[in-house]
Homo-oligomer: A and B are copies of this chain.
Amino acid sequence: MKKIIKQYFNVAVSVDNVVFGFDADGLKVLLISRGSEPFPGSWALPGDLISPEMDLEYSAERVLKQLTGLDQLFMEQIQTFGRVDRHPFGRVFTIAYFALIKVEQYHPQASSWAKDVAWFKVTEIPTLPFDHREILEYARRELKNRIRTQTLVFELLPKYFTLTELQFIHESILEEEFDVRNFRKKTLSSGIIEETGKLQKNVTHRPAKLYRFNASKAKQLDFEGGIL
């Protein structure tokens, strides 16, 4: 028993969060500027070693909150990365999560050892330490899959949104274009988004109708897949 502890209970576990956000110029990822070893000064996924006393799910939320102030986000586990040499301090397994955020409604702020925090377009990511690049690419693929098979696109949109935004977000994530009329027909016929009667304000063109996701209708219809 003592031998077992010595032989096996000597590794560490971390979580790394891939936080996706969405705004007028497309899909973004939240990175922090590291203020401690290893790799101080470099942009990286908000992640940290986790303490043995907390459940895994909760640890992921806590790390994110500690580094960025973000809380109460939609989060799901994606994959664990365990290459022997992925961390310079020793053997660290990292469990990657992704989180989806309504950019307008939260204001991430660096805290703890994070010196800064910023959104980066997914097409303009700087060099990342550890295997964070690999984790990010994996997360992007998973987001593609899950946007098609789960009803989670609304986690990225504000409460009121236009169909054009809904289409643009799908196009950004799936890296594919859709026909405007077919897209509208399909999404509206799902029965899970509804008109609000409101219109866009202060736009220099015909104002678009604002829609909202009807979660209770979705539940009632047993709607669980993607909207496309």
Q: Which of A61-69, A87-95, A185-193, A209-217 contacts B (4 or more CB under 8 A)?
A: A87-95
Contact of A93 among B1, B81, B91, B93 (CB under 8 A): B93
Given A9-B11, A10-B10, A11-B11, output 10 extra A-B contacts at Cβ < 8 Å: A8-B12, A8-B13, A8-B52, A9-B10, A13-B13, A52-B91, A56-B82, A56-B93, A77-B80, A93-B93
A5 contacts which of B9, B59, B90 (Cβ < 8 Å)?
A: B90
Interfacial residues, chain A to chain B (CB-CB below 8 A): 1, 4-5, 7-13, 37, 49-57, 59, 77, 79-84, 89-91, 93, 95, 145, 149
B90→A9 contact, CB < 8 A: yes
Given A93-B56, A93-B93: A8 in contact with B81 (beta carbons within 8 A): no
Chain B hits for A4, CB < 8 A: 49, 89
A77 to B78, CA, bound (A): 10
Q: Judging by beta carbons under 8 Å apart, are A49 and B8 in contact?
A: yes
Contact B80 A55 (CB under 8 A): no
Residue of B nearest to A60 (CB): B82
A contact face: mostly helix, strand, loop, or mixed? mixed
- Residues on B with C-beta less than 8 A from A95 are 80, 82, 93
**A77, B95: Cα distance in complex, Å:** 12
Closest B residue by C-beta to A81: B56
Query: Would you mind naming 22 contact pairs between A and B with Cβ atoms under 8 Å apart?
Result: A8-B51, A9-B11, A9-B12, A10-B12, A11-B11, A11-B12, A11-B13, A13-B13, A13-B82, A52-B84, A52-B90, A53-B84, A54-B84, A56-B81, A56-B82, A56-B93, A57-B82, A80-B80, A80-B95, A82-B95, A93-B93, A145-B149
Q: Measured between alpha carbons, how far is A3 from B129 in the docked complex, in Å?
A: 23
Q: Which residues of B contact A50 (CB under 8 A)?
A: 8
A105: min CB distance to chain B, Å: 29
Q: Which residues of chain B have C-beta atoms less than 8 A from A56's C-beta?
A: 80-83, 93
Residues of B within 8 A of A77 (CB): 79-80
Q: Which 8 A-B pairs have the closest CB atoms?
A: A56-B82, A52-B91, A8-B12, A8-B49, A80-B80, A9-B12, A11-B52, A80-B95
